[in-house]
Structure 1
Amino acid sequence: MALNIPGVVAVVLFYILILGTGVWAARKSRKAERKSHGDRTEVVLLGDRNISLLVGIFTMTATWVGGGFILGVAEAVYTPKMGLIWALMPIQYSVSFIIGGLFFAKPMRDKKYVTMMDPFQIKYGNILSGALVLPSLLVDVLWVSCTLLGLGATMSVILDLPYAYSAWISSAVAIIYTLLGGLYSVAYTDVIQLSLAFLSLWLCIPFLLLNPISTNIAHTAFNHTIQEPWLGTLEQENVWKWIDDFLMLGLGSVSFQSFHQRTLSASSPLTAQLTCYAAALVIAILGIPPVLVGAVAASTDWNLTLYGSPSPYERGEYSLVLPLTLQNLTPSYISIIGIGAVAAAVMSSTDSGLLSATSVFSSNIYKNILRKRASDYEMQWVIRLTVVVVGLVGTSITFYTNSTLVLWILGADISYTLMFPHLVSVLFFKVTNGYGAMVGYIIGLTMRILLGENALGLPVVLHLPGCKLEDGVYVQKSPVRTVSMLCTLSTILVFSSLAFFMFNHGLLPERWDIFKVKLRNVFCDLDEVTFVVCFTRQSNLCFFYTVLILMA
């Protein structure tokens, strides 16, 4: 194949449009910095907390509708033994946004935190919160890798452009405009990117549905024709795994720094909540096109296409099913438009991951731990350098795997099993302290490793009920991620309460109390040894928890 010159020109024009928008937003950012009487760093990282509802909806949705989202949904729907029933990412993210709007957006925005890690740093101090920052940084780096992998793979198929060029050029564009204007550039380019992704994807759908090679997807949804029905099946032994996956993305996404960066940058707490609710609806709609692409691919006899036989699944190229479907079942100019959709989606998520990791490192590690007296000028350079480093590391990771789904799930797994229980504990359980958080971190991480992960080649050491030996490899049928999450959460609460009880009853000397939990933060009736923790009422809803501790 020869290089697709018209496609390359279209992509170059798209990148120029995005860079132009980034430059315009950078000017807006500099004006805000000059007018700001507070921390200039906050202008860069949070857009001076002045992001409107409309822009907020665009940037919140665009953050999640990335290359991993589009290619991952299409891959799941197309792949035999999976299908639509396993491709519920749009619904899971909608649930995540609703939960975030109900319980997390208002308390975080009310206290004007700069990052998601601020409550950890305030309650636990620098050393322990520094350890908790690491998984948050890893999640964002994996997010960058996942999105760039999707774009590089798509370009290499349709444009016949070497993968390395596609990945590095795309990464460079995202790094440049993120450097120029911080969150302002990210948010306003997200408006352009999400609009292009939405229009481009829907423009491709009629050509796919009406192509003469594929069988009607309404027929293949339920019947065995070319391959198994694309709706998929859910066998009884996999029900718990399905629930586990649903909860992982539905709850784990709430503990992404990218999510909180959008709510914390909103112009008001109410705007932050409304942004979440509106984005929940929009992201569900944007999930429909990749579902249809996967359904068409599953309904296609690939032997009748230029791609030939065997099918992408049999060749192990199922992760590329979206670009392959566009290339072989639509006119060339339509496949180029599809490239624009993926490129737009990738850019909107890549810049979010870059800025998210940068925010956590610059604010919670550099300024609060390493250089507490760092000037605004110094912080500007730290932010710029961090954006570049995160971009380089994230791009490099894409050369070690060819599946966007693996990177996507790995990031969500870390967020769900480690960060989510810690975030819930620190925000909604006043009994939580550094002792519980430290033990919960160690036990939760150890438990997750022992339970194994086949996608990463991590062997199963601890066998839960239902664990089976398949093709010489142990496979967990239990909801291992949810078990790990609950183990982390319960460990945090039990050991926090135990430490509080022991220090306040004199069972341990006060000089050992490095986290200063003696008579702090919790209403406690020491004679009846019952702790009642109740935190925050919002929108007539509240978290209400009662934790019963060991009898004195």
Structure 2
Amino acid sequence: MITSFIILYLLLTLGVGFWASRRIKTSDDFTLAGKSLSTSFVGVTLFATWFGSSQIMGNPSRFVAEGFTAFFNLVLAPGLCLLVVGIFYARKLYRMNIVTVGDFFKLRYNKSLEVTSSILMVVSYPHWIAAQFVALAYLFNAIIGVPLDYGIFLGAVIVIIYTYIGGMWAVSYTDMIQSIMILLGLIILLTEVLQQAGGIGLFFEERRAEFYDLLPTAGIDSWSEFIALFLAFAVGPIPVQEIYQRVFSARNEKAARNGLFLGAFLMVTIPSIPLLIGLGGAQLYPELMDAGDGQEIIPAMVLMFTSTPVQILFYGAMISAILSTSSGAMLAPATVIGENLIKTYARGISDRRLLLYTRLSVVVVAAFSCYFAFSDIDIVGLVAASLALILVCLFAPFTFGLFWKKASVAGAWAAVITGGFVWFFCYLYETRIDATIYGFVLSCLAMVIGSLVSPDKKHPAWPSDQVKLTRNPPGPE
């Protein structure tokens, strides 16, 4: 019965992709959904893109073990990131009438930095997508008995089809459906756990005092890990394409900002539910924490203590979360490839051909992701490393370039090169303080020093002057 429902759900997902494809006429329709998304669509797609398997399986075990320091970094930090983007970044960038983060680097600096930033952005995604394909494979294996290798291929094919055909429209509609599935599955499972436990108060009984500390109380090692995680989840994602793909898809800047605020709210509230479920499970069945370092506590509870309808909803929610993350992560680099790499060098390319190449880029990104998923490399380590690379190389030129008029091309190059090399050196030699902290601080410092020592002779058009270039005037909310 579970297998039948899961297959039906996957077919429904593909059906939504084919239905959404009817709205794809231009490359803007494919990459930005025609710049017509409402607040609710922007917020939900932001949430669905970031809510993946780790929020259901990884975060609860860390919360049980580490307490509210884990809650601060794993739940509050991503919400804070979207809130900061909504308050400070969204309005300026939306008014620039751009499609990608690479477009910003081209307008603010030059084409060389556009290409460099785009390449760094693209190479950061396949490892993350590979991790999602592997997670899907494990679910397919557990639910319908598909071997892992075939499961990776099956998951990739499903995401490729509806992303290739429907683009941002398909991602938006499927994200909405998948978010509803996620919320229903988690609420029903939490209700089951609360009934067995006799109330939420029992979840927190006999917890040590340190469990409630938001900040680490140990030495330099714990502070290093804490700060590195905070930078990774609250600061590192600020320049990533997947956020601005949704911001630039909004029908107006008000919908973009409010969508970010809605996404921030969803990223704090809904990921808190698995934490409560995990805490209740550890209280009721402590032996489950021994399996897979506690990462399998929620799936184990579902199989052992819930009815078939609840299992269907839960597995549907899990698959939904991973599909949403995969599709958003695949569309972002494909858009960057089309807009900032192909379009930059293929002058005079028609919009129809650009649309085709952007769609083909989805397949290329998926192929590289499958390669990493099939290999024996440490995917989790590569994901962390690739995200750190964006933080130490792109955050400083992106943020200083947006808010500081003296930010120069030389300063941007200094930030990219210094941050990257310092991070790589510290990562290679396993310094006691996390490599991302060194790379981040020195990248920002290099940005300032390089801009002051070698200022631009002629400043480019300032972002606030780009209002007149807005593609569509503000429409109704």
Matches of 1:485 and 1:333, distance apart in 2: 47
What's the TM-score once normalised by structure 1's chain length? 0.76
Matches of 2:16 and 2:391, distance apart in 1: 34
Deviation at 1:296, TM superposition (A): 3.2
Structure 1 residue 329 and structure 2 residue 305: aligned? yes
Q: Deviations over 1:198-238 (max 9, x none)?
A: 11111122223444xx898745635379xx97999933212
Which has a greater percent of strand? 1
CA contact (8 A) 2:189 2:277 kept: no
Q: Deviations over 1:182-212 (max 9, x none)?
A: 111111111111111111111122223444x
What's the TM-score once normalised by structure 2's chain length? 0.88
Secondary structure of 1:254's match?
Answer: coil
Deviation at 1:55, TM superposition (A): 1.7
Provide the residue aligned with 1:347 in structure 2. Answer: 323
Structure 1 residue 9 and structure 2 residue 4: aligned? yes
Q: Please, which of 3, 16, 19 is the counterpart of residue 21 of structure 1?
A: 16
CA contact (8 A) 2:95 2:464 kept: no
Structure 1 residue 45 and structure 2 residue 31: aligned? yes
Provide the residue aligned with 2:474 in structure 1. Answer: none
CA 1:434–1:118 in 2, change beyond 3 Å: closer, same or farther?
A: same
CA contact (8 A) 2:58 2:295 kept: yes
Provide the residue aligned with 2:51 in structure 1. Answer: 65
Q: Deviations over 1:26-58 (max 9, x none)?
A: 1123xxx2xxxxxx2122111111112222222
Provide the residue aligned with 2:235 in structure 1. Answer: 251
Matches of 1:111 and 1:418, distance apart in 2: 22
Secondary structure of 1:299's match?
Answer: helix
Of the two, which has the highest radius of gyration?
1
Provide the residue aligned with 2:256 in structure 1. Answer: 272
Question: 1:88-103 maps to which residues of 2 (within 5 A)?
Answer: 88=72, 89-103=74-88
Secondary structure of 1:253's match?
Answer: coil
Secondary structure of 2:454's match?
Answer: helix
Provide the residue aligned with 2:274 in structure 1. Answer: 290
Q: Deviations over 1:251-275 (max 9, x none)?
A: 2222110000000111111111111
Matches of 1:320 and 1:186, distance apart in 2: 28
Secondary structure of 2:406's match?
Answer: coil
Provide the residue aligned with 1:132 in structure 2. Answer: 117
RMSD over aligned Cα atoms: 2.9
CA 1:232–1:491 in 2, change beyond 3 Å: closer, same or farther?
A: closer
* Structure 2: unaligned runs, 5 residues or longer: 466-477
Matches of 2:360 and 2:20, distance apart in 1: 20
Matches of 1:239 and 1:383, distance apart in 2: 42
Matches of 1:402 and 1:248, distance apart in 2: 22
CA contact (8 A) 2:129 2:326 kept: yes
Provide the residue aligned with 2:218 in structure 1. Answer: 236
How many residue pairs match? The answer is 461
CA 1:62–1:535 in 2, change beyond 3 Å: closer, same or farther?
A: same
Provide the residue aligned with 1:146 in structure 2. Answer: 131
Which has a greater percent of helix? 2
More deviation, 190-199/333-342 = 333-342
CA 1:232–1:490 in 2, change beyond 3 Å: closer, same or farther?
A: closer
Deviation at 1:241, TM superposition (A): 2.9
CA contact (8 A) 2:61 2:289 kept: no
CA 1:436–1:120 in 2, change beyond 3 Å: closer, same or farther?
A: same
Matches of 2:295 and 2:192, distance apart in 1: 21
Q: Please, which of 103, 108, 127 is the counterpart of residue 118 of structure 1?
A: 103
Structure 1 residue 520 and structure 2 residue 459: aligned? yes
Provide the residue aligned with 1:467 in structure 2. Answer: none
CA 1:345–1:270 in 2, change beyond 3 Å: closer, same or farther?
A: same
Deviation at 1:245, TM superposition (A): 1.6
Question: 1:26-425 maps to which residues of 2 (within 5 A)?
Answer: 26-29=21-24, 33=25, 40-78=26-64, 80=65, 82-88=66-72, 89-211=74-196, 218-219=201-202, 221=204, 223=206, 234-237=216-219, 238-301=222-285, 313=290, 316=292, 318-368=294-344, 370-400=345-375, 406=381, 409-425=384-400
Matches of 2:198 and 2:380, distance apart in 1: 27
Matches of 1:325 and 1:232, distance apart in 2: 28
Provide the residue aligned with 2:470 in structure 1. Answer: none
Provide the residue aligned with 1:497 in structure 2. Answer: 452
Deviation at 1:381, TM superposition (A): 2.1
CA 1:323–1:152 in 2, change beyond 3 Å: closer, same or farther?
A: farther
Matches of 1:396 and 1:290, distance apart in 2: 31
Letter in 2 for 1:330: T
CA contact (8 A) 1:63 1:348 kept: yes
Letter in 2 for 1:10: F
CA 1:328–1:234 in 2, change beyond 3 Å: closer, same or farther?
A: farther
More deviation, 266-275/18-27 = 18-27
Deviation at 1:247, TM superposition (A): 3.1
CA contact (8 A) 2:133 2:152 kept: yes
Provide the residue aligned with 2:471 in structure 1. Answer: none
Q: Percent identity?
A: 21
CA contact (8 A) 1:67 1:149 kept: no
Provide the residue aligned with 2:475 in structure 1. Answer: none
* Structure 1: unaligned runs, 5 residues or longer: 1-5, 34-39, 304-310, 453-457, 464-475, 501-516, 523-533, 538-552
Deviation at 1:168, TM superposition (A): 2.1
CA contact (8 A) 1:117 1:360 kept: yes
Deviation at 1:403, TM superposition (A): 8.2
Letter in 1 for 2:305: L
